[in-house]
């Protein structure tokens, strides 16, 4: 088995394990009505992740040259923010507050626009606000699903 295939198998296997964990959590939490939407999404996510893992292990996937250290270091800040968001912020600060903060930080980190101009910061704030309005409309109004509510909402 070549290195690219091993790297693809390990990474897709990790994603499949995370997907299985998220799916298990969504099926075991109460009140069960609040987790209907997460159950649907996590089940589809697990099926796709397991399919990708199987393709990687069997050698059916067309893989590139893998992730180089430079690519990984570019992704690392986003991964760290995602871990903080998932394991602490969403429950501790509330879904909408933590999502706003995480989105704004990620947008600021990965936006190539200047970080020294007020105009670009205003643009990032406006994009974050529009994103949150869409998220609120989608989850709270359209889907009427449960979101973690703690400090703010």
Q: Using the 3D structure, point to which of 45, 66, 87 is the last residue of a domain.
A: 66
Please tell me the distance from the alpha carbon of residue 89 to that of residue 75, in angstroms, as a whole number.
20
User: Model confidence at 67, in pLDDT bands (50, 70, 90)?
Assistant: low
Q: Which residue has the higher pLDDT, 36 or 98?
A: 98
Contact 92, 151 (CB under 8 A): yes
The mean pLDDT of 29-47, rounded to a whole number, is 83
Are residue 71 and residue 128 in the same domain, yes or no? yes
Is residue 81 within 8 A of residue 102, CB to CB? The reply is yes
Range of the domain at 60: 1-66
Say if residue 53 is in the same domain as residue 4.
yes
What pLDDT does 62 receive?
A: 73
Tally the domains of the chain. Answer: 2
The pTM assigned to this predicted structure is: 0.67
* pLDDT tens digit sequence for 119-148: 999 999 999 999 999 988 888 788 777 666
Do residues 95 and 73 share a domain? yes
Please, are residues 97 and 135 in contact by the beta-carbon 8 Å criterion?
A: no
Assess whether 61 and 134 both reside in one domain: no
Q: Are residues 21 and 77 in the same domain?
A: no
The whole-number average pLDDT for the span 4-27 is 87
Q: What is the pLDDT of residue 8?
A: 82
- Does residue 49 share a domain with residue 19? yes
């Amino acid at each position: 088995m070549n290195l690219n295939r091993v790297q693809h198998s390990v990474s897709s296997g990790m994603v499949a394990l995370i997907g299985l964990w998220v799916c298990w959590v969504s099926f075991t939490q109460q009140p069960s009505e609040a987790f209907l939407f997460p159950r649907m999404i996590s089940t589809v996510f697990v099926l796709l992740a397991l399919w990708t893992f199987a393709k990687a292990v069997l050698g059916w996937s067309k893989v590139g040259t893998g992730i180089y250290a430079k690519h990984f270091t570019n992704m690392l800040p986003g991964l760290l923010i995602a871990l903080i968001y998932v394991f602490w912020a969403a429950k501790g600060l509330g879904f909408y507050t933590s999502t706003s903060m995480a989105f704004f930080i990620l947008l600021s980190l990965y936006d190539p626009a200047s970080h020294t101009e007020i105009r670009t910061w205003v643009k990032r704030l406006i994009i974050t606000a529009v994103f949150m309005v869409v998220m609120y409309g989608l989850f709270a109004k359209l889907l009427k699903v449960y979101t973690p509510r703690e400090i703010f909402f």
